[in-house]
Amino acid sequence: MGMLAACEPDPPAVMRQDGGPDRDVTLARDANTAADAREARDATATPDVLTQDSAAPVDAAVGDRYAMARIDCVAEINRYRAMLSLAPYERWVEGEACADRMADFDAMTGQPHNGFNMSICSPRGNGQNECPRYGGPDQLNGCLGQMWAEGPSPTGEWDLAHGHYLNMVGDYTYSGNRVRFTRVACGFSAGGWMLQNFQ
């Protein structure tokens, strides 16, 4: 089982008071090696058979091998949020392809948050939690449980020791600015790296 990795949110220069981006982040940097490897793997792999859930988003029916894991990921994060009577995070479907690319890139480089910090794709979000080397979606709940167990920071300011929890709560102070998240994109790699990008 891997170690947890929390990423600092974007610096205040890129955040508004409400936690949204000051400008669109559409950087053109590309992790060609990771993307090419993923595309080649996806082109030759037989997609897992998925059962259609009437409540599941449409992508569950079009061969996304991680569709059910994404639904479970958002539901598990929202289960923890409900413990504090917080509104559920929206599933950020538009951010999932980038989240997958980041998970692949981080697995390839062996460095948590590498894809996020290098902004290898867009939309990337403004905060990230990562479960490196965890072995796959069946281990996700254990990773999320460890993140939540970090608990709140004593001051309400973001700090490394409580970063995962704070991203899951999505309402905290970073360098004097309020950060608020409303949605999450869950990404997965074939190498067992899993991450959540928050926006």
Tell me which of 34 and 172 has the higher pLDDT. Answer: 172
pLDDT of residue 14 exceeding 50:
no
pLDDT value at 192 more than 80: yes
The angle formed by the CA atoms of residues 107, 195 and 16, to the nearest 5 degrees, is: 125
- pLDDT over 70 percentage in the chain: 69
Q: Which residue from 27, 11, 190, 168 is spatially nearest to 101, judged by alpha carbons? A: 190
Contacts of 119 (CB under 8 A, 6+ apart): 25, 27, 29
| pLDDT above 80 for 185 | yes
Report which of residues 39 and 170 the model is more confident about.
Answer: 170
The structural domains of the chain, ordered by start, are: 5-198 (3.40.33.10)
Residue 188 structure tokens: 């997965």
115 pLDDT above the threshold of 90: yes
In the beta sheet, which residues pair with residue 188? Answer: 194
pLDDT tens-digit readout, 98-107: 999 999 999 9
pLDDT in tens, 68-83: 999 999 999 999 999 9
Q: Indicate the pLDDT class of residue 38, thresholds 50, 70 and 90.
A: very low
Question: pTM score, two decimals?
Answer: 0.73
Separation in Å, CA 117 to CA 44, 127, 136: 30, 10, 23
Top-confidence residue, 59 or 124: 124
Mean pLDDT of the chain: 78
Strand partners, 172: 179
